[in-house]
């Protein structure tokens, strides 16, 4: 049976690249596991007066190249192995685009859709308090992720700042712009996915004006990626979220879909009547299109469905959407896969820009941020492609080789304490 544990997958991906790099045994042992794993249990008073216990995590994988960096997600299905995997992927993500951060991840086991705004605030503040000893602008910088928002980052900043007795905006990124957030942060991950897709389409000699795309996951990343792809001329023929999947071979009207989602935030795409609804949400992964963007959760493309995927190009907007078994099938079928650690690195890139602005007490314009993001994403793609061609490996292995090589070089040079 195929391995679906995300942490085991992250380690397998590491092992494949480490073997190609002929990495020393001590470095392999050191880099394939997190530096620190924190699990906390904490009480929160609910709106009805009841006290409920919640579980929170913060995993710090590696900081040899800079402070730990990674999002905070709220999900009822989240577990420690998932967080370990996400923290590991963050280390390689920051390294492959060469920004001076390490990797971390965290979150709370809960279902935000069942909680009031006041309950979410109390959960966020108590979680921040529980992890406050191991986060900070020079230590570990959280950010929004699945089911978390700029408002929650503002609560985190305020809670942390109360303990420090001064405002410390650099403790988290993804904040509202009027609280030290960066212009362009909301669009960053999705735009980065689209920019990477444009580079890959050029390699495949496909004209964006004649390309069709399907996007799984119409949250922040998926919706922004779809809009950016549309701006580049790509026709969006399918989108999906947790409620349903929509398709239209003639092209979906994203503006109308956005209006529908804004009016139905609890049900999202459900009951949208101006497109065909697929019988099963995951059928979107197998629909006829040139470009597939999985932007939902892990383990969406597996050995079970990889043989039915019709896309020529897959650009990963989510973290860990493709299993190693699926990767092997896509290689045999000559389907190009641009890995998550490269394709969706736009978010952490602009998070880095936000952190720099906070440290320097500056705020850059939207144009400045976008120009820097575009340059970083475009210059990060070519080295991965070129290494893949030289070594005869897929883009994922090449991206890992570059990322692991950079972290290994830093670790060797710093040495081992004491």
Catalytic residues: 105
CA pair distance 339, 63, nearest whole angstrom: 22
CB atoms within 10 A of CB 88: 30
Tell me how far apart the alpha carbons of residues 143 and 106 are, in angstroms, rounded to a whole number. Answer: 9
Cα(6)–Cα(27) distance, integer angstroms: 21
- Quote the radius of gyration of the chain (alpha carbons, Å): 21
With a CB cutoff of 8 Å and minimum separation 6, the contacts of 254 are: 223, 226, 227, 230, 236
Bridge partners of 141, per DSSP, are: 69
Phi first, then psi, for residue 259 (nearest 5°) are -65, -40
For residues 39 and 79, is the Cβ–Cβ distance under 8 A?
A: no
CB atoms within 10 A of CB 177: 15
- Sign of CA pseudo-dihedral 10, 15, 20, 26: positive
Per DSSP (E only), the strands in 63-161 are: 68-74, 103-108, 140-144
CA 309, CA 288: separation in Å to the nearest integer?
Answer: 8
**Residue 182 and residue 173 in contact, taking contact as beta carbons nearer than 8 Å:** yes
Spatial CA neighbour of 114 closest among 102, 123, 104, 125: 123
Residue 43, classed as helix, strand or coil, is: strand
| 248-269 burial: b if 16+ Cβ within 10 Å, else e | eeeebebeebeebbeeeeeebb
Contact criterion met (CB below 8 Å) for 273 and 280: no
Contact between 276 and 299 under an 8 Å Cβ cutoff? The reply is: no
By residue count, the chain amounts to 418
């Amino acid at each position: 049976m195929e391995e679906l544990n995300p942490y085991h997958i992250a380690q397998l991906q590491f092992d494949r690249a480490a073997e190609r790099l002929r990495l020393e045994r001590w470095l392999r042992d050191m880099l394939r596991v997190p530096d620190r794993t924190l699990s906390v249990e904490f009480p929160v008073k609910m709106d009805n007066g009841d006290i409920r216990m919640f579980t929170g995590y913060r995993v710090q994988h590696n900081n040899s190249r800079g402070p730990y960096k990674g999002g905070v997600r709220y999900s009822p299905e989240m577990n420690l192995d998932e967080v370990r995997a996400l923290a590991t992927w963050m280390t390689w993500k920051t390294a492959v685009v060469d920004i001076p951060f390490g990797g971390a991840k965290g979150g709370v086991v809960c279902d935000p859709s069942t909680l009031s705004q006041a309950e979410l605030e109390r959960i966020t503040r108590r979680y921040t308090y529980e992890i406050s000893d191991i986060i900070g602008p020079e230590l570990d910088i959280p950010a929004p992720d699945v089911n978390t928002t700029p408002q929650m980052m503002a609560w985190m900043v305020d809670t942390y700042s109360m303990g420090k007795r001064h405002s410390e905006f650099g403790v988290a990124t993804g904040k509202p712009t009027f609280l030290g957030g960066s212009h362009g942060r909301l669009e960053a991950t999705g735009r980065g996915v689209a920019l990477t897709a444009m580079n890959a389409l050029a390699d495949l000699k496909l004209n964006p004006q004649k390309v069709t795309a399907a996007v799984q996951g119409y949250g922040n990343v998926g919706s922004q990626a779809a809009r950016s792809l549309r701006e580049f001329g790509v026709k969006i023929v399918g989108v999906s979220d947790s409620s349903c999947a929509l398709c239209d071979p003639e092209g979906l009207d994203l503006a109308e879909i956005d209006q529908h989602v804004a009016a139905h935030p609890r049900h999202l795409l459900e009951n949208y009547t101006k497109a065909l609804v697929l019988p099963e949400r995951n059928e979107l992964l197998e629909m006829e299109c040139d470009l597939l963007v999985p932007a939902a959760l892990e383990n969406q493309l597996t050995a079970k469905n990889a043989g039915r995927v019709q896309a020529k190009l897959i650009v990963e907007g989510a973290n860990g959407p493709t299993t190693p078994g699926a990767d092997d099938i896509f290689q045999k079928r000559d389907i190009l896969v641009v890995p998550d650690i490269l394709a969706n690195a736009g978010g952490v890139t602009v998070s880095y820009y936000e952190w720099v602005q906070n440290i320097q007490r500056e705020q850059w314009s939207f144009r400045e941020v976008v120009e820097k993001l575009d340059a970083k994403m475009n210059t990060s793609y070519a080295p991965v492609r070129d290494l893949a061609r030289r070594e005869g490996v897929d883009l994922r292995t090449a991206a890992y080789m570059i990322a692991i090589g950079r972290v290994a070089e830093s670790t060797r040079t710093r040495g081992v304490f004491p």
